[in-house]
Chain A
Amino acid sequence: MARMKFLCDADRCIECNACVTACKNEHEVPWGINRRRVVTLNDGKPGERSVSMACMHCTDAPCAAVCPVNCFYTTADAVVLHSKDLCIGCGYCFYACPFGAPQYPKVGNFGSRGKMDKCTFCAGGPEADNSKEEFEKYGANRLAEGKLPLCAEMCSTKSLLAGDSDVIAQIYKERVSKRGYGSGAWGWQTAYKETIAT
């Protein structure tokens, strides 16, 4: 099976936010929840750089490790998913996540959190593939249809790559060798304890 990963080529990201919009629209993500976002470092200064970030579907995912009710599971494609039926909204996965991926709808008063929501790598949840229940809880299941995540598919500069680790790493390496520079696969060392030499 594939080992699905995201790779943001930060030398190409132009902060157009198409990935963010595509994600929100494809999964009908509610207001206040962002499964993906683009952050600009050194904004407006020399050396500015933008990176698109979402759940990185870590190896030995910290969220899954700290979850008190064990609501996470990893698919055969190494995508980290969770069950909203089991989630109790404790917020621990956010404390453990190195990428700030888990999101919580605000329900009731104070800081009370609803069921956690995060990027599914467009792979839905535990319900039957592309069922109504699955869509309502987790959004579209593009992987089950043989499609890759929409954020990467829509990326106007092909900065954001999504797919099997070996394939996207190869694409990135070829780019780097052709253009002569690259800033590395952002987040890979933290998420997978491996990186792509540039």
Chain B
Amino acid sequence: MSKLVAHMRLIAGALALAFMVAISAPVSAQQPSSVNPTADAVKEQQLLQQLKAIQGRGTIPDVKSYTIEHPAGREWQQFHNVTLRWIGGIAILGMLALLLIFYLWRGMVMIKSGRSGRKIVRFNAFERFVHWMTATCFIILAISGLNITFGRPLFAATVGSEAFTTWSEWAKYAHNYLSFPFTIGVVLIFLMWIGGNIPNSIDVEWFKRGGGIVGDDHPPAYRFNGGQKAIYWIVVLGGAGVAITGYVLMFPFYGTGIDSMQYAQMIHAVVAMLFVAAMLGHIYIGTIGMEGAFEAMGEGTVDINWAKEHHSLWLEDEMGRNPKGARAQPAE
């Protein structure tokens, strides 16, 4: 009996050994010649696909430096060098072309009934001061800003690197510092003219009748007509847009990251381009586009006949308030 047990134990042992050898053979064959200790470590392409940027932990105080790779910079480059130049070029040159064509077709809008020689105050000294402070800042900001986008391809080679850098550095300082009076001007414009610039049904009628610009019609208007209200809101909203994004750019990385800085620049530039185009239209209508318009902001007074044709309801109000004829002035 014990002999049989010993025999069976031997057979079982042999079988077990054979089995172990059998299964161990493929295992040793599968064993790689080396081990990759970093097999489950992060991979570059995987991180870029998932997160669009590779960030980690650094040992210097500058947290921006913890981002080691951010390929979106290339997309911002495409915007800055191609898209923005198209947007700006089309908006500004397109507006100039439109104004030129319009001027050749329509010419200056004259005071139909001629000048009466009597004048009425339209903008007081404070209003004119605010307008011209904002306007002066705007023109310098526009030129120095356009220089950043168009200066290099247009002038850098012609004037030479040194001269172009000197000019651009001054333009940058002007752009930064004049932003403050410009912003104050936009805030004051918003506050002092908001009363007359709420859109209403008269504006709809005004636009339907071509605003007196397209045809020979003279639709009634209060102090500000539909077109002027549009300019007002372009200045207020556009001004707010460029001011907010501009200060984000002026205080880089104060609570913003690289993405928000890029977006701030993109919004700032696009709004500014459209703003410049709109202001070209405003300058046109205030100067060569219409007889008697410039003096409203120049000397502050307009001819009674001009007011009658362009702002009939406002003139009635003013006359009603001061029946002697507002501040009638003798003809010069």
Contacts and interface: CB of A to CB of B under 8 A. Distances in A.
B170 to A, nearest CB: 9
B215 interface: no
A68 B38 contact: no
A116 to B, nearest CB: 13
Q: Which of B39, B43, B47 has the most C-beta atoms of chain A within 10 angstroms of its own C-beta?
A: B43
A190 interface: yes
Given A68-B152, A69-B156, A69-B168, A42 B74 contact: no
Contacts of A100: 64-65, 67-68, 70, 258
Specify the main secondary structure of chain A where it touches its partner: loop
Contacts of B62: 32, 34
A62 B82 CA distance: 13
Q: Do most interface residues of chain B lie in helix, strand or loop, or is the interface mixed?
A: helix
Contacts of B41: 10, 42, 47-49, 183
A138 B44 CA distance: 31
B67 to A, nearest CB: 6
A65 B147 CA distance: 15
Contacts of B24: none
Contacts, number: 164
A181 B35 CA distance: 8
Contacts of B261: 95
Chain B residues touching A, range:
35 or more
A105 interface: no
Interface in A134-171: none
Contacts of A184: 43-45
A41 B57 CA distance: 6
Contacts of B57: 39-41, 43
A49 to B, nearest CB: 5
Contacts of B36: 180-181
Given A40-B56, A95-B261, A70 B156 contact: yes
Interface string A164-198: 00000000000000011101101101100000000
A41 B56 contact: yes
A66 interface: yes
Nearest to A184: B44
B73 interface: yes
Interface of B: 32-34, 36, 38-45, 47-48, 54-60, 62, 64-74, 76-77, 80-81, 147-149, 151-152, 156, 161-162, 164-165, 168-169, 172, 176, 249-254, 258, 261-262, 265
19 contacts: A40-B58, A41-B47, A42-B41, A42-B42, A53-B69, A66-B80, A68-B149, A68-B152, A70-B156, A85-B165, A86-B162, A86-B165, A91-B252, A95-B261, A98-B74, A100-B70, A110-B250, A184-B44, A186-B69
